Chain A
Amino acid sequence: MTTKPKETLDPTALTAWRFKGLIWAIIYLLIIIGYAIATRFFDVLPLWGMWVLVGIFTFLLTLQVGIVPEYRMRYWGYEIREDAIDIQSGFIIIKRVLIPISRVQHIDLAAGPILRKYRLASVEITTAGSNHEIPALSQETAMSIREKLNQKVLEANEDV
């Protein structure tokens, strides 16, 4: 890949992702507690299973809260060029997409409850043949991108 596209995702996204990790932590805890209770009723389930779960979940949590968000920030990039949108993502498999603005069919803004809490949104770009996403931008940025793209789409040639 040549130079990485210059824009990055919103730094608040880090907090949002970590928060999401926290939610997952609570879910994991509930599962572990549930399992512990289940061992009371079903003698088949071994107690060490609980510790295995604890181990797995701690591992997952460290990933989700500590490592993944940073990497994601580092490896997501986008750039809105004159005629095309350039998006790069991924860290094990790096994927880079170039989308001509004249091919864009419509642009959506989406946000789940966690993103909304942090005033973030993801921009979903749909062309006639594919869907692309820029996750976790601040709502203002997302809306301004959408405005800018809509402008460009109107100006662009009307081909399919």
Chain B
Amino acid sequence: MSKRYRQHPLMILISLLEQTLGILSYVLIFVLARFISGEGEGFSFGLSDTLFIVVPVVLVVLTNVLRWIFFTYQYDGELIEIQSGIFIKKERKIKVDRIQAINLDASLLLRLFGLTRLTIETAGNLSESEVEIKALKLKHAHRIKDVLSHPNTLHEDPSESALVKVEPFALFMASLTSGGALFTGIAVVFFALQFISFLEFNLDFENAWQIAVALLVLTFVVLMLGWIVSIVRYILQYAMFTLINENDELKISRGLLHTRSSTIALKRIQAVHLIQGILRQPFGYVAIEAKVAGGRTEDSLASTLLHPFIHKRELNQFMATLFPDYQLPTTYISAPRRALTRYLLRASWLFIFMMPFVFIFPYLAFGFVLWPVSLAYGFSRHKNAKIELTHTQLNVRYRLFRKNILMIPRHHIQAVAFEANVLQRWQRLAHLNVYVLSSPQPTEVKIKDINVLDANTVYDSFSQPKGFETYVEEGS
């Protein structure tokens, strides 16, 4: 067993800094309150006032120091042990074979000092089974990681191969076309509109057109700003993206200011998810994510992205290298033509519902401009509702807003369901639902309004003995 370690002492300072915002606002509020109640006569700080400010701050500092003092850990090739707690002491032992993933990540502050944060994930999503060492020297963290993940390493040469490295140009293209750009733009517009009502326009508008033009220009500027903001955010998050396959464990790291790295055991991967945002579709670029079983909520977002931006041409090779057992979809069964009305209807519900309200709020009429957009989405969703069932996998394709392809090996399917209401039964349609384990929440995919016969075929295929297992066809 290693000797007992504490976290790096600088951690106290760093966590204080992170809490500074809270502390400062507390002080500020207090000062303001005194100022107001003093009715502007200038404030004099009596002893009681000073105490009100100083005491809580001192308490916060003290708590942080005590927490640091009472947090220790030890480790060896078989387990890691953590002792923590000031009053209620807690001891946690985690055996190495329970460890699913070890992540190292560091905020800018930590990186400045050459430190990193180490988190350990075990099976299950309970906070009970997680370990977090907030600050330790990078070298030490790597040493712990090595000891805990390869306890029986003699002198193995890991089959390292950097599978994915994203070139800066590709990164830029990705940032331009990310979904985040769209959402940030919309969000910024929304907030800007809130502020506009507070502004007073001294400008003299002669007719409605000038107002419209001014609004359009404003919206455009705001959207551009939003786009630029999201480009920067994307680059910061995904720069230096690398993926390495080391002994059937995928090590992924990314990030410019705040680097995140995570390890995913290949066998934990339940399904592979290809995503094409609407901005990327014309160019044929795809993002690849994995559905992973187990893991924490917070870091899960960081750890499921396998490739942020790959072209369809290179997809085959990527999949063949990493996931040789997976088959990319070839022929699909699509939703039938008669299902289209239902898709378009689903796209129109909101607007139909809004219609009576227009009489109360005439400005809602502007919202109807979006109806054709919604219909276009509905149309595309119908076109993209497809399934493919093979001996080894169930591939489903669907669009919500982005185009998705989910490839699930049969033995990772948790359950298969289908539902149909009276109308659907009359039209011989049904929804197909597939359930797959993933983090943070299990995945449920609904392929809507497919032909009932196809749904039955899928169902029967799984109803057979060993239906949920991958099987090899005779004679191959």
A129 and B460 in contact, given A83-B468, A84-B467 (Cβ under 8 angstroms): no
Cβ distance A12 to chain B, nearest Cβ, rounded Å = 28
Q: Which of A59-67, A89-97, A134-142 contacts B (4 or more CB under 8 A)?
A: A89-97
Question: Whole-angstrom distance from the CB of A130 to the nearest CB of chain B?
Answer: 5
Chain A residues closer than 8 Å to B436, beta-carbon distance: 129
Contact call A98/B416, Cβ cutoff below 8 A: yes
A26 at the A/B interface (Cβ < 8 Å)? Answer: no
Q: Are B419 and A93 in contact (CB under 8 A)?
A: yes
* A83 with B442: CB separation less than 8 A: no
With both beta carbons as reference points, the residue of chain B lying nearest to A129 in the complex is identified as B442
Chain A residues lying within 8 Å of B462, measured Cβ to Cβ, are: 84, 98, 100
Say yes or no for B91: interface residue by CB 8 A criterion: no
B442 touches A92 (CB 8 A): no
Q: Which residue of A lies closest to B441 (CB)?
A: A129
Residue contact A81 to B417, C-beta cutoff 8 Å: no
Is A37 at the interface (CB under 8 A from chain B)? no
Task: Report the interface size for chain A: residues with CB under 8 A from the other chain.
Answer: 27
A128 touches B414 (CB 8 A): yes
Give the nearest-CB partner of A102 in chain B: B468
Q: A83-B466, A128-B293 are in contact. Are A95 and B419 (CB under 8 A)?
A: yes
Of A2, A82, A92, A159, the contact of B459 (CB 8 Å cutoff): A2
State whether B415 touches A100 (Cβ < 8 A): yes
Across the interface, which residues of B come within 8 angstroms of A159, CB to CB? 411-412
A159 to B, closest residue via Cβ: B411
Instruction: For the complex formed, measure the closest distance between the CB of B418 and the CB atoms of chain A, giving whole angstroms.
Output: 6
Q: Is B95 an interface residue (CB 8 A)?
A: no
Question: Does A20 sit at the interface, judged by CB under 8 A?
Answer: no
Tell me if B418 and A96 are in contact (CB < 8 A): yes
Residues of A within 8 A of B294 (CB): 160
Within 8 A of A (CB), among B440-466: 442-444, 452, 455-456, 459-460, 462-463, 465-466
Task: Give the residue of B417, B422, B442, B456 whose beta carbon is less than 8 angstroms from that of A2.
Answer: B456
Closest chain A CB from B297 CB (angstroms): 16
Separation of A160 and B270 alpha carbons in the complex (Å): 9
- Decide if A1 is an interface residue (CB 8 Å cutoff): yes
Contacts of B419 in A (CB 8 A): 90, 93-96
Q: Does residue A99 face the partner (Cβ distance < 8 Å to B)?
A: yes
Query: DSSP class of B's interface residues: helix, strand, loop or mixed?
Result: mixed
Q: Does B144 contact A (CB under 8 A)?
A: no
Q: Is B413 an interface residue (CB 8 A)?
A: yes
Of all chain B residues, the one with the shortest Cβ separation from A5 is: B463
* Residues 101-121 (chain A) with a chain B CB within 8 angstroms: 102-103
B437 at the interface (CB under 8 A from A): yes
Specify which chain B residues have a CB less than 8 angstroms from the CB of A94 in the assembled complex.
419-421, 425
Closest approach, in angstroms, between the C-beta of B83 and any C-beta of chain A? 31
Contact of B435 among A82, A96, A127, A160 (CB under 8 A): A127
A93 vs B463: C-alpha distance when bound (angstroms): 21
A160 nearest CB neighbor, chain B only: B293
Taking CB atoms, residues of chain A closer than 8 Å to B411 are 102, 157, 159
- Complex contact A83–B456 (CB within 8 A): no
Task: Indicate which residue in B270, B293, B417 contacts A98 across the interface (CB closer than 8 Å).
Answer: B417
**Could you mark each residue 120-160 of chain A with 1 if its beta carbon is under 8 Å from any beta carbon of chain B, else 0?**
00000001111010000000000000000000000001011
CB-nearest residue of chain A relative to B452?
A: A1
Question: Is the CB of A70 closer than 8 A to any CB of chain B?
Answer: no
Whether A100 contacts B468 by the Cβ 8 Å rule is: yes
- On whether A130 and B418 interact (CB within 8 A), knowing A94-B425, A96-B459, A100-B467, the answer reads no
Q: Is the CB of A99 within 8 A of B456?
A: no
Residues of B close to A98: CB separation below 8 A: 415-417, 459, 462-463, 467
How far is it, in angstroms, between the C-alpha of A83 and the C-alpha of B293 when the chains are bound?
22
CB distance from A95 to the nearest CB of B (A): 4
Within 8 A of B (CB), among A19-65: none
Nearest neighbor of B123 in chain A, beta-carbon distance: A160
B415 touches A92 (CB 8 A): no
Provide the residues of chain A in CB contact with B452, threshold 8 Å: 1
A140 CA / B100 CA spacing, docked (Å): 41
Q: Known: A129-B436, A129-B437. Is A83-B417 also a contact (CB below 8 A)?
A: no
In the complex the two chains form, what is the Cα distance from A99 to B413 in whole Å?
A: 9
Complex contacts, A1 vs chain B, CB 8 Å: 418, 420, 430, 452, 455-456, 459
Shortest beta-carbon distance from B416 to chain A in Å: 5
> How many angstroms between the C-alpha atoms of A102 and B465 in the bound complex?
12
Query: How far, in angstroms, from A90 to B420 measured CA to CA in the complex?
Result: 9
Nearest B residue (CB) for A125: B415
Contacts of B412 in A (CB 8 A): 159-160
Closest chain A residue, CB of each to CB of B425: A94
Q: Is the CB of B468 within 8 A of A103?
A: yes
Interface contacts beyond A96-B459, A160-B437: sample of 12 additional A-B pairs, CB < 8 Å, sorted by A = A1-B430, A1-B452, A1-B456, A2-B459, A84-B468, A92-B421, A97-B416, A103-B413, A103-B414, A128-B414, A128-B437, A129-B437
- Sort A-B residue pairs by CB-CB distance and give the 10 closest, nearest first: A129-B442, A100-B468, A97-B417, A95-B419, A129-B414, A93-B421, A82-B465, A129-B435, A98-B416, A99-B415
Pairs A–B under 8 Å by Cβ, sample size 30: A1-B420, A1-B459, A2-B460, A81-B465, A83-B465, A93-B419, A93-B421, A94-B419, A94-B420, A94-B421, A94-B425, A95-B418, A95-B419, A96-B417, A98-B416, A98-B417, A98-B459, A98-B462, A100-B415, A103-B413, A103-B414, A103-B415, A127-B415, A128-B293, A129-B414, A129-B435, A130-B442, A130-B444, A157-B411, A160-B294
Binding site for A on B (CB under 8 A): 270, 293-294, 411-422, 425, 430, 435-437, 442-444, 452, 455-456, 459-460, 462-463, 465-469
